Amino acid sequence: DAMVIQNPRYQVTQFGKPVTLSCSQTLNHNVMYWYQQKSSQAPKLLFHYYDKDFNNEADTPDNFQSRRPNTSFCFLDIRSPGLGDAAMYLCATSRGAQGVDTQYFGPGTRLTVL
Amino acid sequence: GQNIDQPTEMTATEGAIVQINCTYQTSGFNGLFWYQQHAGEAPTFLSYNVLDGLEEKGRFSSFLSRSKGYSYLLLKELQMKDSASYLCAVRDSNYQLIWGAGTKLIIKP
């Protein structure tokens, strides 16, 4: 089945220790998104790629970086995680076409910062 | 600023009907989405409205009034598995999705 896969599902890191979250998709979608979601809050868009074009949200901290080496994979790097970065990180994809252009989400990675 | 408002929490009884409202103020409008999110899981797509009116999909229906900046999600014949958060999201003139914080729906037997 075509899908969006995120690894790992749960990640524990130490304060200040770099961490990388990964996302892959078999949908062959043009657009990949990274969201941060804290408990009972709306998903917050960090950045997205349209093909190789990177789009950073204005309020995304510099501590967060992303890489998309090919159509299928996208990575979220947190250079120096702080306690406030503990959250669910959601990867999503969409075709990037006009019209509905539904976003399809992976299962998420829950990040704990000790 | 852009804003999506939804009730924080609602409670309903198994077998009943519940309506979850969403009001929005955005820079332009290019469609409204409803997603379901079970605790600790990713959002899953439920419905999309871009024209005024009601869209029906089985037990779930979604309504849109663009002039009022208003939508609702109607869930019929509630089942225990419908206990989840329901997120409203609007696509603005820049094709960015603006998300609400979600409505936590609690179903009681």
What pLDDT band is residue A87 in, cutting at 50, 70 and 90? very high
Q: Which amino acid is at A108?
A: G
pLDDT score at A2:
63
Q: Do B100 and A100 touch (CB under 8 A)?
A: no
Report how far residue B87's alpha carbon sits from residue B4's, in angstroms, rounded to the nearest whole number: 10
Nearest CA in chain B to A110: B40
Report how far residue A44's alpha carbon sits from residue A79's, in angstroms, rounded to the nearest whole number: 19
**Mean pLDDT, residues B5-21:** 97
| Average pLDDT along chain A | 93
Whether B1 shows a pLDDT value over 80: the answer reads: no
pLDDT score at B33:
96
pLDDT tens digits for range B33-88: 999 999 988 899 999 999 999 999 999 999 999 999 999 999 999 999 999 999 99
Place of tokens 């949908």: A27
C-alpha dihedral sign at A111, B2, B4, B8: positive
What pLDDT band is residue A100 in, cutting at 50, 70 and 90? confident
pLDDT tens digits for range B21-34: 999 999 999 999 99
pLDDT score at A40:
86
Radius of gyration of chain A measured on its C-alpha atoms:
13
- In three state form, how does the secondary structure of B34-47 look? EEEECCCCCCEEEE
End-to-end CA distance of chain B: 40
Report how far residue B83's alpha carbon sits from residue B107's, in angstroms, rounded to the nearest whole number: 6
Q: Which residues of B touch A (CB under 8 A)?
A: 4, 8, 31, 33, 40-45, 48, 50, 85, 87, 91, 95-97, 99-102, 104
Place of tokens 């950073």: A56
For B73, the enclosing helix (H) or strand (E) is strand B70-75
Report how far residue B90's alpha carbon sits from residue B29's, in angstroms, rounded to the nearest whole number: 7
- Closest Cβ opposite residue B101 in set A40, A100, A107: A40
- Look at residues A68, A37, A69, A38 and name the one whose alpha carbon lies nearest to residue A55: A68
- Look at residues A81, A27, A74 and name the one whose alpha carbon lies nearest to residue A54: A74
Q: Which amino acid is at B18?
A: V
Give strand ranges (E) for A26-108.
31-37, 44-50, 53-56, 64-67, 73-78, 87-94, 104-105
Q: Which amino acid is at A11?
A: Q
pLDDT tens digits for range A29-83: 999 999 999 988 999 999 999 999 999 888 999 999 999 999 999 999 999 999 9
